[in-house]
Structure 1
Amino acid sequence: MTRISVAIGACLALGPAPVMAEQKAMTAEARIPADLHYLLSTPRGYEMSGETYPLIVWLHGGDQGGSEIEKVRSSGLPALIEGGRDIPFIVFSPQNPSEELLYPIEKVKAALDEVMDRYRVDPSRVSVVGYSRGAFGAWAMAEQYPETFAAVVPIAGGGNRHYLNRTNEKAAFWVFHGTDDEVIPLSDSVVLYERLKTLKRDARLTVFENTSHQAVEAAALNETGLWDWLQKQRLASKPTP
């Protein structure tokens, strides 16, 4: 049996060399459409003014995704605006097209760029605020687009702490969570906050006692000082397009 195996091996060795698979270098030409539904509001006096304004990207929670834009009005920052709250920002509220998946942040960024081209936005004063699934999006956008956001406000969400070193050193973070969150554990926010402090980022953490996942959204948006804090955040001045 040994002699037969050796003979077969010798015959194979003398046969034709195997054809190597060819790998061609290619470039994709596909384009990602920014086909998102969104709400947009401008502050009082916008139409009569020639000034630029700060902008907030609002990323909603998981129960408002899909294609019915009216769902986005039901809570969070859009609900405050619907209720008559005067928000001194342009507010861009894109709808997650999926009811199950995380925000497609590339599409959100493309739509944000379009809004910034159409409206008088101060590019040094753009913030992202997200709740729950939207907070995951806020963390991801801060990491993926560090030159865009002066302030990042994740409410009851989590993210990838290993990429926080990519965030802008000049950006400010205010993280919110509730102690009784039964959906996203408080530890998810704590780990990210501690990583930011290790990186010497401007970061603060507010933990609401006896507060559930559902209740922390309103608690954060009604936090004393949040809006003044957002007004003050600014990256280095960028040239106006």
Structure 2
Amino acid sequence: MFRSLLLAVALASSALSIPETALAGQTAQTSKATIQADLGYLLYTPSDYDTSGKTYPLVVWLHGGDQGGSDIEKVRRSGLPKLIEGGKEFPFLVFSPQNPSEELLYPIEKVDAALEEVIASRRVDRSRIYVIGYSRGAFGAWALAEQFPQRFAAVVPIAGGGNRHYLSRTNEKAAFWAFHGTDDDVIPLSDSVVLYERLKAIKRNARLSVLEGVDHSAVEAAALNDSKLWDWLLDQHL
């Protein structure tokens, strides 16, 4: 009897010493990470910038997929930078960031952070900021218009697609002009058509130029050499 009582006491003491099982849970945290605008870029300023004292429109140029990486000289090879290298003059600033990745889409948060630095350090008319993108850069142009809707007065995507479901977030005052070639075998024409039709459905100022017989590599120059584009662009403002 006495031995049974001792055994019972021992078992009870042992049970009391077993640690409780920790319960799973989640706690609210706040990240302290910051976005570094560590992008290389080219910046064009008009010839009269230093003497005029006025504010200027600014065009963001987003290049295609084959100019990403860390060699900024690649950005000069096509698009607006190529026109500038060839002696073309524009009445606006041109900010041409380089996508740091050779494979991925533009990191648009970094693009916007770097753009804000340029705007803060130059005489920029904030009501006349435009974005033009080609191919992978056109995907970036669509994304910038959706994610930073108060920034851009006009958006010109050339041969690129995007997320039509977020177009309702774009600025109601912004204007859109998309370009795409019928013979594009890289990004299908239907990508631009779907986005354009969605813009029209939500009553945005939008137009689409479908270039007959033009393939993916030729549509960039075809769009940028359209003089009507530049007249239209400079008429847009927020």
TM-score under structure 2 length normalisation: 0.91
Aligned partner of 1:231 in structure 2 is 234
Q: 1:22 offset after TM fit, Å?
A: 2.4
Aligned partner of 1:203 in structure 2 is 206
> In structure 2, which of residues 47, 50, 54 is the aligned counterpart of residue 51 of structure 1?
54
Q: Per-residue CA shift, 1:139-191, capped at 9, x if unaligned?
A: 00000000000000000000000000000000000000000001000000000
Q: 2:188, 2:50 → 1: CA distance? A: 43
Q: Per-residue CA shift, 1:83-119, capped at 9, x if unaligned?
A: 1111111000000000000000000000000000010
Q: 1:44 offset after TM fit, Å?
A: 1.9
Structure 2: state its 5+ residue gaps.
1-18
> In structure 2, which of residues 161, 183, 186 is the aligned counterpart of residue 183 of structure 1?
186
Q: 1:214 offset after TM fit, Å?
A: 0.2
Q: 1:131, 1:54 → 2: CA distance? A: 20
Q: Secondary structure at the match of 2:115?
A: helix
Q: 1:24 offset after TM fit, Å?
A: 1.3
Aligned partner of 2:162 in structure 1 is 159
Q: Secondary structure at the match of 1:180?
A: coil
Q: 1:20 offset after TM fit, Å?
A: 2.6
Q: 1:186, 1:25 → 2: CA distance? A: 45
Code of the aligned partner of 1:78: P
Aligned partner of 1:73 in structure 2 is 76
Q: Secondary structure at the match of 2:91?
A: coil
Code of the aligned partner of 1:138: A
Q: 1:213, 1:22 → 2: CA distance? A: 51
Number of equivalent positions? 221
Aligned partner of 1:168 in structure 2 is 171
CA RMSD of aligned residues (A): 1.3
Code of the aligned partner of 1:182: D
Structure 1: state its 5+ residue gaps.
1-15, 236-241
Q: 1:17, 1:179 → 2: CA distance? A: 68
Deviation beyond 3 Å, 4+ runs, structure 1: 16-19
Q: 1:32 offset after TM fit, Å?
A: 1.2
Code of the aligned partner of 1:93: S
Q: 1:18 offset after TM fit, Å?
A: 6.0
Larger mean CA deviation between 18-27 and 121-130 belongs to 18-27
TM-score under structure 1 length normalisation: 0.90
| 1:42 equivalent in alignment to 2:51 | no
Q: 1:17 offset after TM fit, Å?
A: 8.4
Q: 2:182, 2:62 → 1: CA distance? A: 22
More helix as a share of residues: 2
Q: Secondary structure at the match of 2:233?
A: helix
> In structure 1, which of residues 72, 93, 97 is the aligned counterpart of residue 96 of structure 2?
93
Q: 1:20, 1:203 → 2: CA distance? A: 55
Q: 1:49 offset after TM fit, Å?
A: 1.1
Query: Highest CA radius of gyration, 1 or 2?
Result: 2
Code of the aligned partner of 2:85: E
